Amino acid sequence: MLGRINHIAIAVPNLTAAAMPYKNLGATVSDPQPLPEHGVTVVFVELENTKVELLEPLGENSPIWGFLAKNPAGGMHHICYEVADLLAARDRAVALGLRVLGDGAPKIGAHGKPVLFLHPKDFSGTLTELEQI
């Protein structure tokens, strides 16, 4: 059911500063993309085998603020896996007793594809995103 890793997300207090080491090492870094529905602005670091998503809070109600309050320098926020059928993956996760965050309805993510998140307590403390391919 789980496919390849789509990206690893890192919450950061400043996108420009966080992107510089990647740029300096020759990685391609996307332009910032605000995602008001998710309360973040993101950039993607494109790598040969995956992407790194840098997340900066967008507005005072961003869920990233709470994370950065506990981790002021930033840190790994979530890992995203690709799935062929997001609704089937959600239903299977629920049947297995895993907790889907929010109302369980997918939202459109940064790649323009449906996504949803699974509770970090069900994945050894790691917030898990599923993205339909």
pLDDT digit string (tens) for 2-61? 999 999 999 999 999 999 999 999 999 999 999 999 999 999 999 999 999 999 999 888
* Tokens representing residue 67 in the block: 């994370």
- Please give the sequence-ordered ranges of beta strands (E in DSSP) within 66-113, or none if there are none: 75-83, 107-108
CA–CA distance, 45 with 51 (Å, rounded to integer): 5
9, 78 in Cβ contact below 8 A? yes
Structure letter (DSSP) for residue 100: B
Catalytic residues: 129
* The CATH number fitting domain 2-132, selected from 3.10.180.10, 3.40.50.1980, 1.10.150.20, 3.40.390.30: 3.10.180.10
Q: What are the C-alpha distances in Å from 53 to residues 22, 92, 98, 127?
A: 11, 26, 24, 14
What tens digit of pLDDT does each residue of 78-117 get?
999 999 999 999 999 999 999 999 999 999 999 999 999 9
- How far is the C-alpha of 133 from the C-alpha of 131, rounded, in Å? 6
Cα 71 to Cα 76: distance, rounded to the nearest angstrom: 10
